[in-house]
Amino acid sequence: MKPPAEDRELHGHPPIHKTREFAVSPNLQSYPDTYKSFDWDVARDWLSGLPGGRGLNIAHEAVDRHADGPLADKLAIRCVDRTGAVTDINYTELKAATGRFANVLRRLGVGSGDRVFSLLGRIPELYVTALGTLKNTSVFSPLFPAFGPEPIHDRLVLGDARVLVTSTELYTRKIARIRDRIPSLEHVLVVGEPVEGTEDLEQLMFEVDEDFEIPDTDPESMALLHFTSGTTGKPKGAVHVHEALLAHYASARYALDLHPDDVFWCTADPGWVTGTSYGIIAPLAHGATLLTDAAEFDAKRWYRMLADNRVSVWYTAPTAIRMLMRQNPELAARHDLSALRFVASVGEPLNPEAVVWGQRVLGLPIHDNWWQTETGAIMISNYVAMDIRPGSMGRPLPGVEAGLLRRGEDGRALVTDGRVEVPTEADQIGELALRTGWPSMFRGYLHEPRRYEHCFADGWYLSGDVARRDADGYYWFVARADDVIKSAGHLIGPFEVESVLMEHPAVAEAGVIGKPDPVAGNLVKAFVSLRPGVEPDDQLRLDVMGFARKRLGGLAPKEITFQANLPHTRSGKVMRRLLKARELGLAEGDLSTLEGSS
């Protein structure tokens, strides 16, 4: 009960052949040739390493080597605050500021391996903290400012936080009440007027010198600690090392087509892994100019940011793209976006309709890609050298081997006596896995070795995502293994259904769940938010259901509920579990007790 393969694959959208010409030559000219010839050992020559062969340090590659060379006076970071005021920092200034912060840490007795957390908005001090921490060979761990006190507490305790850099306002609202429950936290450095229990960051920076020699840095030494959590349970601290920079650099080169002359804007908050890997490290390692904006999403402001700053490479999220899609296309047309040559998306699978919207409204298709906190960098992508198949994640990054593992009844890879099966036929569906050994592969979950071991089998990293690979090697996201809907003997991925629903002209966004049914096991139910000006009624519901049935056949939803605003996670993903909990009248945590919960 599946629609024809070509409909499942393209959702009605043919491949997009990119014809717009740009003065800059793409980094990736031929995907097959580059993938075949790529070697991580050769790619290491792209980086300089610490002088005297003393190892590899992320901050040296992202800051000092540029400040000590021809890019010394080049704009490194442009920070735009909420009012629109601009702070420009060139590479020489960034070296001085990060050197001062590293000296502050050294003065406080904070050394290699000690954890330094940030709880800051996108202000200059955040970037100085991150890079200065890495210079000192301490470990940087960012926190999302919108977290409440308890999620912050959990991460600070699990991460053995020794230093926290935050603002006076955030400390007062979120940290002061939990401070006595974080025994490892010795120093809180604040941006702003210090209060009891904190130290003045500006004053500390003033009291130290800007000269700082980066210590010898083992590429395998811990550099970054990123917290991730599933739908239930405590957050997990994914450990990344300085060697991860090699994958940051290579993926930005190939998957984002980043060049040193680019103005690069990553809209992800640095509290998430994307906002660190690609919102700080990768663009600076390439010697590009990084644009940051302290304000939250606003369509008019975003278009102004793109136009006024001549952004050439833009990395954003499907949620933001969907919000832009709700705007009148004339809004984009009123801004000069001629500098923009590459747009990419991350955070969750990008619906095919969004890719086509980019081509129609921006004049550029949007390149989806796939990776996880644990992978540390982009692993699968749509590249500038390839036609885009709307809805596809693309093909593996050069240097990365991906595969689909045969699944068991629970949707996860079937592991028998430590071995897995890796079918090679086209259109197989399985758990997406990566051959171990790429540079940014996480090196552990902090303090949880058993949990880490369970992520691997037979030389493969098990992603927990279910995907399909077509005959040309493009990968297509199906669902998280625990999101797959089992209905009448079929396994249905919510994303595929949501993508088709969003092609209906009245639909702005959709969330799909499995609703328990005594006969089918689960029925597919969709929650749909409508575009502005569209009124919900029974006729529209029948029209949307008929549209989906023509495209999806037996995969189409049996029920549709119109809902003005769908619930989202902090990172913008539709919360299917919360939709299901509300549907069943349960607390979200109770879903784990339901057999076959999606």
Q: What is the pLDDT of residues 229-264, one digit of tens each?
A: 643 457 899 999 999 999 999 999 999 999 999 999
How distant is the alpha carbon of residue 45 from its chain centre?
27
**Mean per-residue pLDDT, 37-49:** 95
- Token pair, residue 18, equals 């990119």
Provide CATH code, domain 485-593: 3.30.300.30
**Mean per-residue pLDDT, 337-360:** 92
Mean pLDDT of the chain: 90
Decide if pLDDT at 9 tops 80: no
Neighbour order of strands in the sheet with 289-293: 86-90, 75-80, 289-293, 263-266, 313-316, 342-345, 366-370, 380-381, 395-396
| pLDDT at residue number 576 | 84
| pLDDT at residue number 594 | 39
| pLDDT at residue number 549 | 86
State the Cα angle at 316 between 576 and 124, rounded to 5°.
Answer: 115
| pLDDT at residue number 468 | 92
When pLDDT is cut at 50, 70 and 90, the band that residue 274 belongs to is very high
Characterise 149 by phi-psi region: left (phi > 0), alpha (psi -120 to 50), beta (else). alpha
Q: Does domain 91-241 have CATH number 3.40.50.980?
A: yes
More confident residue, 579 or 60: 60
Are the C-beta atoms of 114 and 163 separated by less than 8 Å? Answer: yes
Q: What is the DSSP letter of 417?
A: T
When pLDDT is cut at 50, 70 and 90, the band that residue 94 belongs to is very high
The residue among 491, 527, 501 whose CA lies nearest residue 512 is 527
As a whole-number percent, the residues of the chain with pLDDT over 70 amount to: 91
| pLDDT at residue number 490 | 59
How distant is the alpha carbon of residue 63 from its chain centre?
23
Residue ranges covered by each domain of the chain: 91-241, 485-593
**Helix H or strand E segment including 451:** helix 449-453
91-241 matches 485-593 in fold: no
CB neighbour list of residue 525: distance below 8 Å, 6 or more residues apart: 512, 513, 514, 515, 557, 558, 559, 560, 561, 583
When pLDDT is cut at 50, 70 and 90, the band that residue 338 belongs to is very high
When pLDDT is cut at 50, 70 and 90, the band that residue 489 belongs to is low
Decide if pLDDT at 470 tops 50: yes
Lowest mean pLDDT across 219-223, 246-250, 358-362, 475-479: 475-479
Alpha-carbon distance of 463 to 292, in angstroms, equals: 30
